[in-house]
Structure 1
Amino acid sequence: MEEVEAAVTAHLDQVSGLVRALSSELRSGIGPAADSLLAFVRAVDWTEPWLVCLMAFHATLLLTAVGLRRNANLQFFFLFLAYSGVYLAEKINIYLAEHWKSFANRNYFDRSGVFISVVWSGPLIFISIVTVVSSLMTLCQLMVKWKRAELRHRARLAGDKQE
């Protein structure tokens, strides 16, 4: 029982430390976050062939998802594909960390997975958001068509009763 209490206390201390750190960063403004993002962008060699191919893959996937937005089955397939990619990001990061010399000039794949989250998971999550918004818009359009058809049907029935 004491071990559980100690573990819970340690976890609460860790969470409170994270909350304090987040709070202090939020009070300091967006400047430090923008500086960190800019430093990240400058640290990566975006001309490496594998990164160019990865960006092209994400762009193609996004354009395909937008282009096929009227097909609900393909939308759900893209959603499944995107979420599966995000789910597998940790395993992909581990594999790429072990084999980075065969395709990259530098090892970008740290244990915390920041790089893979930015260049792999981030775009996939964006694509899934676009897919969900597109699906919701299609659903809204379908609901409007359905309601109009229902109103036309009621008007026809009302017209038949009057005659």
Structure 2
Amino acid sequence: MEMDDEDIFIKISDIVEYWAYLKTIDWFDPWLILLIIAHLTIITVVAMTRKHSLFQMILFLTMLLAVFMSEKINELATKHSRLFSRQQIDSSGLFISTVFSMPILLNCMLMIVNWLYTATDVMSTMRAAQMKNNSAGNSRSKSNNNKITNKKHL
């Protein structure tokens, strides 16, 4: 039995609840499993390179570019969905947003949280060093003032 294009797409009006929509996705589709493995690999790379700012910046911008291009990816997927997928790919982009863009954006959020944590840590370390430097400087100036006062009394 041949399916026409109407059978491939989900109408937005048919989606009542997001969790119910997630249950309709065939998570054992081979290309979807590869995509999930890719997302897990990316999150592992993000975690392992959390102290390498330049690499993470490049990765961050690349991931945002991929999200930006997701509309074009969705257009290609809707045109060629019969070739590679058993999914009901929708033309409005809900499927691509769910399985592609959301995990990438979550990785980007993790990177931003890590950068904010690192910046806060560096700022508090610098402030502690500054306070230590100031207190050491005040101690030296007090001892120098005492030496000068003692010399005057002699």
TM-score by length of 2: 0.77
The runs of at least 4 consecutive aligned structure 1 residues that moved more than 3 Å come to none
Partner of 2:136: 156
Partner of 1:8: none
Partner of 1:36: 17
Partner of 1:143: 123
Deviations 1:13-56 (A, max 9, x none): xxxxxxxxxxxxxxxxxxxx9x7223212211110110000011
Partner of 1:100: 81
**Secondary structure of 1:74 counterpart:** helix
1:10-159 to 2 correspondence within 5 Å?
A: 36-106=17-87, 108-159=88-139
Deviations 1:87-120 (A, max 9, x none): 00000001111122222124x3322111001111
Between the two structures, name the one with larger relative contact order (CA 8 Å, sep ≥ 6). Answer: 2
TM-score by length of 1: 0.73
Q: Contact 1:82 / 1:128 at 8 angstroms: preserved in 2?
A: yes
CA RMSD of aligned residues (A): 1.6
Deviates more, 1:50-59 or 1:69-78: 69-78
Choose between structure 1 and 2: higher helix proportion: 1
Q: Which has the larger radius of gyration?
A: 2
Unaligned runs of 5+ in 1: 1-32
Paired residue total = 129
Deviation at residue 64 of structure 1 after TM alignment: 1.1
Among all aligned residue pairs of Structure 1 and Structure 2, give the percentage whose two residues are the same amino acid.
25
